[in-house]
Structure formats: structure tokens, C-alpha cells
């Protein structure tokens, strides 16, 4: 796995570096490619020197940013294999997408916008288009995120809707947890709206609906874990959880989150299958997550799930699963 991480010094770049380093050193140590984007100068030569001077300034700023990133990683994460790259682009998001394709990347890591609460994932102008167009999984660090120097992933929590649409995502997350040697949690989030039943029906009618929904979700989660067991992807540390609230932030706060935890969210199948495309519920889960989030395109989850099933059918391949 190659981890490509975007670094912008003025926008909390250390958070993205910490997340990339933690992900890279979980399981097998993976290489990290640190990328900073500088403006692309005009292709048409100018009579004035201002274009050349601007290009030289932008390149110098890019090199300075990479040097800062290198010093930070070298001091805090000396065991991480890192390379540093300056790329040009008309927009940061398009340049990062091109860089992820060029390396090629298995994961693109971003930081949160600085406009928001510390400790929460904040989708900014760079992450927004990538969350709707990236062909590789996208990880976003909460604002101000810091990982301890000894950190690896402590647990993967898979956001599971309780439907067949997320079956591949759960399998892919389970396979990743096995590879990285961390526990797996399958979590379903639900938001309860305002009471919609008239008094003659009963004020607790919505509570009954909610309990029925929870019962159905438990059955689906049980079926899901049994399916994972059938291909050798569950172990004693696999757990399930249901979180609810009157708002999405309350539902996210309803769960306990451990140090080093990462939340995995799948893209919607109504979007372009080969790319990330977040539905309305998924984007709310991302925005209110108190831990780093990895958003996985549906096609990537399907490929990993198919490979896991194939390896399970092959005793040699199953024994070699990390």
C-alpha cells in the first residue's frame, strides 16, 4: 500500500502527516509520499518577468513546505519511509487526484479545514471535491489531530447501514483489520426525528419503531458477522454496536471511541461506481466523526471483498492472509 498525503503548512498539515504515518506503520510498514501543491504557471510565455518570478516563488514555497514536512516526520516518525514531491495544478484537489494516480496511491490522506471545532473532521474546499470524485480511498484527519509516536491503528470501525449495499465494505474493512492486526467493530448509526405520531396513536409509538429498527439491525449485524466467519475474517475481538440520537452529532457521540481508532465509510452506489460518491447520510457521518475517517469507493470495496472470498476458498491463500 502506498500512502499519499497532502501537506499544507498553513492548514494544519501536521494532522495529515500524523494520520498518514500511523496508517503507514500499522501492519506492514508502507511507504509514504508527501505531496505539496504549488500553482501552475501560465503555459504561454509573458513579456513581463512577473510570471517567472511568481513561478520561482511558488516553487521555493513548495520546497520550504516539503522541508518542514521532512523535518517533522524525521523527528517524530523516523521509522516511516517517506518521499517528498512538489506538484503543480490549477486547483489543489485536481492536482492531488492526479498525484494519487501517478504514484499510484492506495490511499490519499488529507487534513481538515481550519474553519471549525478542534477534534472534529471538517470537510474543506480541498476535501469536498475529492470526496465526490476520488478513485482511491480518502482518509481525513480531524482538525488538530495528533498521534503518539508509538501509535498504530487501535481499532477499525465500519459504518454499516444494515443493508446488502454495505456487505462489500464490511468484508473489505474486516480484511484490512486482519492485515493490520487490529480489532474490528461493525457500527450502525441511526437518527431519530421529532415525534411524528398524533396523541391518539401514542406518544411512545416512535420509541417502538426505534426498538423494532434496532432489533432488525442486530439481526443484520449477526448475519454479517456470520458471513465474515465463513471466510475466516472474524475473531474474538470483533464487536458490533448501534448508535442513535436525535441528531447526527448525538448519534456519533453515543459510541465510545478508542485511541488510534479509524472510522471506515463506504461511498454510495448511486454515484459513479469507480469513484467516491457520498450519500446524504454518509457525508453527515464523516462531518461529525471525532476520529479519522477513511472513505472507500464502492468498486474498491468490491475488489477487496472478492479477493477475500477467493482467498478463503484457497487454503493456501487463506493461510497466507495477513
Is domain 1-148 in CATH 1.10.10.10, yes or no? no
Q: Minimum mean pLDDT among 60-64, 207-211, 267-271, 310-314: which range?
A: 267-271
Convert the pLDDT of each residue in 61-115 to its tens digit: 889 999 999 999 999 999 999 999 999 888 889 999 999 999 889 999 999 888 7
Q: What residues does each domain of the chain span?
A: 1-148, 153-322
- Domain 153-322 is in which class? alpha beta
DSSP string, 251-308: HHHTS---TTEEEEEEPPTTS-TTS----HHHHHHHHT-SS-EEEE-HHHHHHHHHHH
CB 108, CB 140: distance < 8 Å: no
Convert the pLDDT of each residue in 302-322 to its tens digit: 999 999 888 887 755 444 433
Convert the pLDDT of each residue in 135-186 to its tens digit: 899 999 999 999 988 889 999 999 998 888 889 999 999 999 998 889 999 9
Q: 1-148 and 153-322: same fold?
A: yes
Rounded CA-CA distance 262/292 in Å is 5
Residue 120 has pLDDT above 80, yes or no: yes
Amino acid at each position: 500500500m502506498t500512502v499519499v498525503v497532502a501537506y499544507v503548512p498553513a492548514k494544519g498539515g501536521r494532522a495529515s502527516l500524523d494520520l498518514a504515518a500511523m496508517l503507514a506503520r500499522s501492519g506492514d510498514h508502507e511507504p509514504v509520499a508527501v505531496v505539496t501543491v504549488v500553482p501552475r504557471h501560465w503555459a504561454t510565455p509573458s513579456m513581463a518577468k512577473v510570471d517567472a518570478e511568481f513561478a520561482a516563488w511558488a516553487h521555493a514555497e513548495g520546497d520550504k513546505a516539503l522541508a518542514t514536512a521532512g523535518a517533522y516526520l524525521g523527528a517524530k516518525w523516523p521509522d516511516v519511509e517517506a518521499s517528498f514531491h512538489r506538484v503543480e495544478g490549477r486547483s489543489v484537489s485536481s492536482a492531488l487526484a492526479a498525484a494519487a494516480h501517478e504514484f499510484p496511491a492506495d490511499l490519499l490522506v488529507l487534513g481538515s479545514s481550519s474553519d471549525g471545532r478542534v477534534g472534529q473532521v471538517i470537510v474543506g474546499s480541498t476535501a469536498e471535491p475529492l470526496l465526490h470524485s476520488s478513485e482511491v480511498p480518502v482518509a481525513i484527519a480531524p482538525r488538530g489531530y495528533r498521534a503518539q509516536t508509538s501509535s498504530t491503528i487501535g481499532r477499525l470501525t465500519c459504518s454499516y447501514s444494515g443493508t446488502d449495499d454495505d456487505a462489500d465494505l464490511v468484508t473489505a474493512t474486516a480484511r484490512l483489520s486482519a492485515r493490520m492486526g487490529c480489532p474490528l467493530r461493525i457500527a450502525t448509526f441511526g437518527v431519530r426525528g421529532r415525534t411524528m405520531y398524533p396523541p391518539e396513536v401514542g406518544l411512545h409509538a416512535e420509541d417502538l419503531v426505534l426498538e423494532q429498527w434496532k432489533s432488525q439491525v442486530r439481526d443484520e449485524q449477526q448475519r454479517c458477522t456470520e458471513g465474515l466467519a465463513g471466510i475466516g475474517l472474524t475473531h474474538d475481538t470483533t464487536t458490533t454496536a448501534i448508535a442513535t440520537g436525535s441528531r447526527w452529532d448525538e448519534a456519533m457521540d453515543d459510541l465510545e471511541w478508542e485511541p488510534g481508532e479509524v472510522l471506515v465509510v463506504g461511498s454510495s452506489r448511486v454515484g459513479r461506481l469507480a469513484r467516491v460518491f457520498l450519500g446524504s447520510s454518509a457525508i453527515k457521518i464523516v462531518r461529525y466523526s471525532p476520529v479519522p475517517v477513511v472513505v472507500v469507493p464502492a468498486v474498491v470495496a468490491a475488489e477487496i471483498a472478492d479477493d477475500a472470498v477467493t482467498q478463503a476458498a484457497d487454503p493456501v491463500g487463506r493461510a497466507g492472509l495477513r
